């Protein structure tokens, strides 16, 4: 098996399994993984424009809009149209959305501890390697 095929298969399988594990934990607090990702962007910087969230998560508006509608129906965010340009929509956390951050952090820290215990490699090093690969792939894609 060639290296790129092996790498691709390993990343794909690992990614799917990690998302499944995270999703099962997030279900305890009533969130899906994509909802968690959107909220994570807003916990990092509240009041992002929808296109900024899409750029960070590499999601198009057709995928992102239903996520935002669902989060709004759960009262975790509110969408606000721009006063000067109605095409501009900003997502803002509500109080319940802000409060959910601590619950999500607890869920994720338990998962991180379990992974760190069972892994022979440092999670921070793995994360750094994966982000480096992602940056290289983005450059390659744009060539």
| Alpha carbons 12 and 35: distance in angstroms, whole number | 21
Among 34, 97, 29, CA closest to 65: 34
Nearest one of 77, 76, 34, 41 to 56, comparing CA atoms: 41
Residue ranges making up the domain that contains 44: 3-141
- Helix (H) / strand (E) element for 24: namely helix 3-26
**Phi, psi values for residue 84, rounded to 5°:** -80, -35
Confidence class of residue 19 from pLDDT cuts 50, 70 and 90? very high
> What pLDDT, on the 0 to 100 scale, is given for residue 120?
66
- Coil, helix or strand for 27? helix
Say which CATH number the domain at 49 has.
1.10.10.10
Query: What does the mean pLDDT of the chain come to?
Result: 89
How many domains does one find in the chain? Answer: 1
């Amino acid at each position: 098996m060639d290296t790129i095929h092996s790498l691709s298969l390993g990343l794909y399988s690992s990614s799917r399994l990690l998302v499944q594990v995270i999703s099962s934990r997030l279900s305890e607090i009533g969130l899906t993984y994509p909802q968690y990702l959107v909220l994570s962007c807003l916990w990092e910087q509240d009041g992002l424009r929808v296109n900024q969230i899409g750029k960070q998560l590499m999601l198009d508006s057709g995928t992102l809009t239903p996520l935002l509608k669902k989060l709004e129906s759960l009262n975790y965010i509110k969408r606000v149209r721009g006063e000067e340009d109605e095409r501009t929509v900003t997502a803002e956390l509500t109080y319940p959305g802000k409060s959910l951050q601590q619950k999500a952090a607890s869920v994720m820290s338990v998962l991180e501890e379990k992974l760190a215990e069972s892994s022979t490699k440092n999670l921070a090093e793995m994360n750094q390697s994966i982000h480096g690969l992602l940056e290289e792939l983005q450059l390659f894609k744009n060539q």
